[in-house]
Amino acid sequence: MKTMFDLTGKVAIVTGGNGGIGLGVARGLASAGAAVVVAGRNATKSAAAVRNLAALGATAGQIEVDVRDETSVRSMVASAVARHGRLDILVNNAGINVRKPPHEIALSEWTQVIETNLTSAYLCSHAAYPHMKAAGGGKIVNIGSMMSIFGTSYTPAYAASKGGIVQFTKACATAWARDNIQVNAVLPGWIDTDLTTRARQEVAGLHDRVLARTPAGRWGTPDDHAGIAVFLCSRASDFVTGTAIPVDGGYSVQG
């Protein structure tokens, strides 16, 4: 069983791996033996994340990237492959939110959210695919949300991007199954990160509403995503593709 989840010798890129859920995912992959490239905009945050991963005994490094920018993404993938000689795992995690109702969100804000959360997954997957195909396989994990399933009045672009990410996951899963590349989505519930610290400031009563609706009775943590990431990036999930798995303490099945 141990070897089924062993990622020794594998190379992973985690976008937004320098904090929050991305760092929880990176810590899981690193603990299972993968070399992890943390890809974000904030170099200081990334350096701290690399130190955190190195303390687990992992090979870790950082690359600065803007996931909205095709040239930057291509350079990120090329640098990771040049550094480590291969690319086995891509986690499309980078994301933002703009909380405004549909009649108030500006086009520039809509575009910023869609490009960061959805177009980025296309750009990164498109750039990673040839390396995974040439290596005989790979694993892609896209981070969705409860907004992949539900709507709220104040997240039109975010919900559109996270619904889109699930459908993009299915498209890539079917297209690349014969290349032995599995593509799955993870749908986090309400997780305590910088993103939701801001949400709690902007949305009155959110903290208590989440606690009341989550059967597990708590907010999630970034490390709650370590196990699912190892599963979806290891041999254990070789016949699992195109899925969208909630990691939400039961939030999405609460009646």
143 contributes a contact to ligand NDP by CB under 6 A: yes
Answer for which of 22, 28, 246, 249 binds ligand NDP (CB under 6 A) is 22
Determine the 3-state secondary structure of 228 from DSSP.
helix
**Catalytic, out of 122, 154, 158, 251:** 158
Q: Which token pair is 24?
A: 């929880």
- Window 65 to 94, contacts with ligand NDP (CB under 6 A): 65-68, 93-94
Q: Looking at beta carbons only, is 52 or 177 nearer to ligand NDP?
A: 52
Which of these segments, 11-19, 127-135, 175-183, 227-235, binds ligand NDP (CB under 6 A)? Answer: 11-19
Q: Catalytic: 158?
A: yes
Give the nearest distance from C-beta 32 to ligand NDP in angstroms: 20
Residue 182's beta-bridge partner residues? Answer: 139
Q: How far apart are the first and last CA of the chain?
A: 36
State yes or no: residue 125 binds ligand NDP (CB under 6 A).
no
Question: At closest approach, how far in Å is the CB of 6 from ligand NDP?
Answer: 26
The sheet that has 138-143: what strands, in order across it? 60-64, 35-40, 11-15, 89-92, 138-143, 181-188, 244-247
| Residue 99 in the binding site for ligand NDP (CB under 6 A) | no
Q: Tokens at residue 34, please?
A: 């993968």
* Phi, psi at 224, each rounded to 5°: -65, -15
Interaction mask 182-201, ligand NDP, x per CB under 6 A = ------x-xx-xxxx-----
- List CB contacts of 218: < 8 A, sequence separation 6 or more: 211, 249
Q: Is 29 helix (H, G, I), strand (E, B) or coil?
A: helix
Question: Is 116 a residue that touches ligand NDP (CB under 6 A)?
Answer: yes
Report helix, strand or coil for 237. helix
Q: Does 45 bind ligand NDP (CB under 6 A)?
A: yes
* Rounded least distance, CB 15 to ligand NDP, Å: 6
> Would you name the residues annotated as active-site residues?
158
